[in-house]
Structure 1
Amino acid sequence: MRWITKFIGVLGLFSAMASASCPVWSSEQAQQEMAALKEKLGEWDQAYYQQGVSIVTDATYDGLLRQFNNWQRCFSPAEEPQQPGLFTQGKALHPVAHTGVKKLPDRAAVATWVKGKTDLWVQPKVDGVAVTLVYNQGQLVQLLSRGDGEKGQDWTTKAKMIPDIPKTLTGPLANSVLHGEIFWKRDNHVQKTMGSINARGKAAGAMMRKGDNALLNELGIFIWAWPDGPIQMNQKMNVLAQAGFPLTKTWSKSVNSIDEISKQRESWFTTPLPFVTDGVVVREGGEPAGKLWAPGQAGWVVAWKYPPLQQIAEVKSVQFTVGRTGKVSVVLNLHPLQIDDKQVKRVNIGSVRKWQALDIAAGDQVMVSLAGQGIPRFDEVVWRINPRNKPQPPSEKKTTTLSCLYFESWCSEQFIARLTWLSSPEILNINGVSVRSWQQLQQNLNLEHIFSWLAVTQEDLSKMSDTSVARIAHLWQQFLQARQQPFRQWLLAFGLPLPRTVLSIMPDSQWSHLVARDELSWQKLPGVGSIRAKKLVEFVNNPQIAALAAFLTQQGIRGFIDQ
């Protein structure tokens, strides 16, 4: 259940909070924000713990709880960290307390814990609901939720409707206490790509709702502790397997080193499993007597969690960027966070209209994940603060597909975007010239238009400050090579509004041929209708485009010199 992710991980929580920044709020605003978030957390707790309903994902809940505790550290440091509410409502006493598992943050911490220990085992950390099963004289007499580790809710009635839980046992297990995880059974679940899919909430909801027992048939049980059972781990697993708890034996691996643990962890993270997991558990085979177990006091077992696929980030600021066609995009600058092996500092959310619809301001909390190739992706807004201080977006009226071909101070961003576009590998392939490079060139050489660099001399480049001789030579060589690009590549550099597939079969090899075309002539090309034909005629006859074409003629660029 939710509370255990905090109950044992307090040290990790404080570590995360220590690196978090404090909002610049008045005392009054801080109290208002904290009260609003605390109230919402309470609503979610009530729905989850009393009704078995997950209104938000575990990632959202956990992230906002961490955020609340960070605010509390900033503005009310004397108060105890907030814990999920209502989890202590259970009244049934556990025969053996649930200890919980301390979460270690990384490989180094696990390696330190492992050092000097023997008889180590690694198991998947199944993402479900922790329970106690009590068997007396061969009969299942109780199934209790973990609750606060000492007391939990009595779910015995529901347990007897779950086919995977044996109702009678013989032999050593006839009088036993078992700790395990009730989980939502899945087929071929790959944790790295599929994530947690709210599996914990599914299992909890099935156990806590009154009626609606259909999901109980989809639940399984993974036993991860047999207090006061056989001393040898192998013997425990064999007895459990024979009694109807086969998963413990199937998914417990003997390990001797951090390398073996790490390898197994990666394997379970990337291969299909019959359940959702959120990490691995590493334990010693030997355990203390059950009477010594207490919440938060398990020195013989630790967890090493997987990196979450989603994380909550605080928005530092909202930034607007203008692309080469004049389209304004919105970028959220974030307080840095780590997702998998990537540090994320910013995420693009699209158009101004979308940003306005999402209503995002600095200080808001947003959910972020990684899309294909590790690109940061905005998922949703999870918390908004007050007041809503949002910047004014730039006007898109001035910026068009034909604007900023010539430099003007008001459109410097679009001008640089145009230069960056034309220097990309698929256009003129000016290697090693980045956004920053063009900004430096513009600042030092005052480029008049998007092709002015063709007239730049090696001596001009040598006057650039903070630029090495080797770098100047490289720029000069790249500019010379760009002159040899085919005519069609220069049309792309212009931004000619014609699809590349059509451009590749267009017979014209001279700029003069394009100028001579009328709308009907353009419409003879495949996929060019009347609207596009009109745009093409307007484009090639635009005075600025004509002036740029004349400049390329002066520079001797292929296709612009009459032949």
Structure 2
Amino acid sequence: MKWITIFIGLLGWFSTMALAACPSWSPEQAQQEMAKLNEKLSEWDNAYYQQGNSVVSDATYDGLSSQFNEWQRCFKPADKLQQPWLPTQGKALHPIAHTGVKKLPDRAAVAQWMKGKTDLWVQPKVDGVAVTLVYQKGRLIKLLSRGDGEKGQDWTAKAKMIPAIPQTVSGLLADSVLQGEIFWKRESHVQKTMGSSNARSKAAGAMMRQSDPSLLNELGVFIWAWPDGPNKMNQKLEILSQGGFPLTKAWSLPVNSVEEIVAQRETWFTTPLPFVTDGIVVREAAEPAGKYWLPGKATWVIAWKFPPAQQIAEVKAIQFTTGRTGKVAVVLNLSPLQIDDKQVKRVNIGSVKRWQVLDIAPGDQVMVSLAGQGIPHVEEVVWRVSQRDKPQPPVEKMITPLSCLYFEPWCREQFIARLAWISSPAILNINGVSVRSWQQLQQSLHMEHIFSWITVTQEALSQISGMSTARVAHLWQQFTQARQQPFRQWLMAFGFPLPAVVLATLPDSQWSHLVARDELSWQKLPGIGSGRAKKLVEFVNHPQIAALAAFLAQQGIRGFVDQ
């Protein structure tokens, strides 16, 4: 399907999926899963090449193609890697082969490649359909898809309907071979925030379809190579611009250092462009004669791709986490992947219900992106394995906003989550006590309820294995200081079901005042309706809440001691 960018680099392109651990499948299951995915890839190929329809996004197809080859490396290493299906009519020979572009992973690799090279230029790596344009005696006589780099599909008839492609040229262009990218035109496209927008598929689809020629009006052309053209880059760019290919001059800049390349890459990644890009290309002005060009053999040009906005990852395991209010969240453990500057290994997909709707099992492939503030987010499930071995979620009817105030083995997670909430800066501000700290304290001290730490002695802390004297002193100091927190902070520590804005203006300063309130009394507070009032009455009279309040009174905590 997306042979435009996959074909040349397919054998070596495993930057995010490569070297992942092989699935722990039996030979029979591996055969089943591979056959199923291969069938789907072939189905997508057929729709794409025969009908010009892209059934799935570029990112989905590219990622699953790569995943198939990874499985093949695991289970059938002697077989040739799967190649993208090429259209049978792609038999037209390129007068000069498409070399493809080697992709370098980072700044250091680019700097290494630059050593000893001069007269370097940087261009955006336009994401579209690679083509050859052949002009003879000033007229366009051929337009060929790149295909396998040596042979492609003849699109000459379509070329006459694409306004962006000059049908006649003059001067040095009159007898020339040009290589470039047919792309889907965009307005103010910002790659970092908008991603690929499936522009590559749209461009290819417009070229493949036999109907709706109006789509060809949406195409542009960017010439990135003129083999056997003028030696001077400035001359080459000027002739192209005057001949009807102005984008090449507008988007080709000389560079002298890797710092300039880094800066330009960031600029093109974050500012509006008239096309979709997936990186930058750095090239030498001096090129060998066209007769020496071979697929995969270019040494005078490299690409440095942008970090992808989204990637496919395999679900390795599924975990359930319980928060302090009893809500169960589902967390996917993923094969590690890099998105932008963030390594992603886990992603929270929300509630058990949403997980069930998404129907995710270990072994499935999910599309992951970064949402606001760099938080990993599952966009969709792009592939499901045949064997659906899902873990059982916790029994939610046992887990409620009032459960796990007292420790029980089955609710360890919610109990620890409550302690983490209590110690947070906005509640009792017990500094330096993390979730892991509470886990260690509970394992050693066997605290009965969420306020048991108040009575822990310094001697008891010193008996905990691996806890230093300084750490013991710090915890003791923090626990002692927490006793002095205001009444309202202790109410928040309970998880008191009153909105923060209302709690801040609550006139009551004693627990006994709260117990004395009935539903009508609660409803006199702003924003408190009958439903909330009923919950508040139930909360303060709940046996475990009452017991904890009595405990705090025994410890002399302000607001709980009757005055």
* 1:439 match: 439
Counterpart-to-counterpart distance in 2, 1:157 and 1:426: 69
Counterpart-to-counterpart distance in 2, 1:358 and 1:556: 50
Q: Does 1:263 align with 2:295?
A: no
Instruction: Specify the SS of the correspondent of 1:9.
Output: helix
How far residue 166 of structure 1 moved from its aligned partner, in angstroms, is 1.5
Contact 2:124–2:280, Cα closer than 8 Å, also in 1? yes
Counterpart-to-counterpart distance in 2, 1:140 and 1:461: 84
* 1:212 match: 212
How far residue 111 of structure 1 moved from its aligned partner, in angstroms, is 1.7
What is the RMSD computed on CA atoms of the aligned residues? 1.5
Q: Does 1:402 align with 2:402?
A: yes
Larger CA deviation: 5-14 vs 56-65: 5-14
Deviation per CA, 1:39-74, whole angstroms, max 9, x where unpaired? 111111111222221111111111111111111111
Counterpart-to-counterpart distance in 1, 2:8 and 2:473: 60
Contact 1:136–1:176, Cα closer than 8 Å, also in 2? yes
Contact 2:86–2:147, Cα closer than 8 Å, also in 1? no
Contact 1:46–1:86, Cα closer than 8 Å, also in 2? no
How far residue 162 of structure 1 moved from its aligned partner, in angstroms, is 2.0
The alignment covers a number of residue pairs equal to 563
Q: Does 1:306 align with 2:306?
A: yes
Deviation per CA, 1:100-154, whole angstroms, max 9, x where unpaired? 1111122222222111111111110001111111122222222111111122222
* 1:352 match: 352
* 1:91 match: 91
Question: How high is the TM-score relative to the length of structure 1?
Answer: 0.97
Instruction: Specify the SS of the correspondent of 2:473.
Output: helix
Deviation per CA, 1:391-450, whole angstroms, max 9, x where unpaired? 111101111111110011111111011111121222222222111011001011111111
Q: Which amino acid in 2 is paired with 1:408? A: E
Q: Which amino acid in 1 is paired with 2:270? A: T
* 2:3 match: 3
Larger CA deviation: 476-485 vs 524-533: 476-485
Contact 1:33–1:385, Cα closer than 8 Å, also in 2? yes
Counterpart-to-counterpart distance in 1, 2:100 and 2:320: 46
Q: Which amino acid in 1 is paired with 2:360? A: I
Counterpart-to-counterpart distance in 2, 1:469 and 1:122: 59
How far residue 378 of structure 1 moved from its aligned partner, in angstroms, is 1.2
Mapping of residues 160-171 of structure 1, within 5 Å: 160-171=160-171
Contact 1:319–1:332, Cα closer than 8 Å, also in 2? yes
Contact 2:33–2:385, Cα closer than 8 Å, also in 1? yes
Counterpart-to-counterpart distance in 2, 1:171 and 1:473: 85
Q: Which structure 2 residue ranges, 5 or more long, are not aligned? A: none
* 2:175 match: 175
Counterpart-to-counterpart distance in 2, 1:467 and 1:183: 63
Counterpart-to-counterpart distance in 2, 1:480 and 1:167: 84
Instruction: Specify the SS of the correspondent of 1:214.
Output: helix
* 1:114 match: 114
* 1:391 match: 391
Q: 1:117 to 1:535 in 2, by over 3 A?
A: same
How far residue 558 of structure 1 moved from its aligned partner, in angstroms, is 2.0
* 2:234 match: 234
Contact 1:8–1:103, Cα closer than 8 Å, also in 2? no
Counterpart-to-counterpart distance in 2, 1:237 and 1:15: 33
* 2:557 match: 557
* 2:333 match: 333
* 2:281 match: 281
How far residue 12 of structure 1 moved from its aligned partner, in angstroms, is 3.3
Give identity over the alignment, percent: 78
* 1:452 match: 452
* 1:362 match: 362
Q: 1:357 to 1:118 in 2, by over 3 A?
A: same
Contact 2:320–2:329, Cα closer than 8 Å, also in 1? yes
Counterpart-to-counterpart distance in 2, 1:361 and 1:27: 20
How far residue 16 of structure 1 moved from its aligned partner, in angstroms, is 5.8
Deviation per CA, 1:493-537, whole angstroms, max 9, x where unpaired? 111111112212221121111111000001111221111111100
How far residue 480 of structure 1 moved from its aligned partner, in angstroms, is 2.4
Question: How high is the TM-score relative to the length of structure 2?
Answer: 0.97
* 2:48 match: 48
Counterpart-to-counterpart distance in 2, 1:195 and 1:24: 33
How far residue 288 of structure 1 moved from its aligned partner, in angstroms, is 1.1
Counterpart-to-counterpart distance in 2, 1:190 and 1:425: 39
Counterpart-to-counterpart distance in 2, 1:411 and 1:54: 48
Contact 1:3–1:87, Cα closer than 8 Å, also in 2? no
How far residue 88 of structure 1 moved from its aligned partner, in angstroms, is 5.7
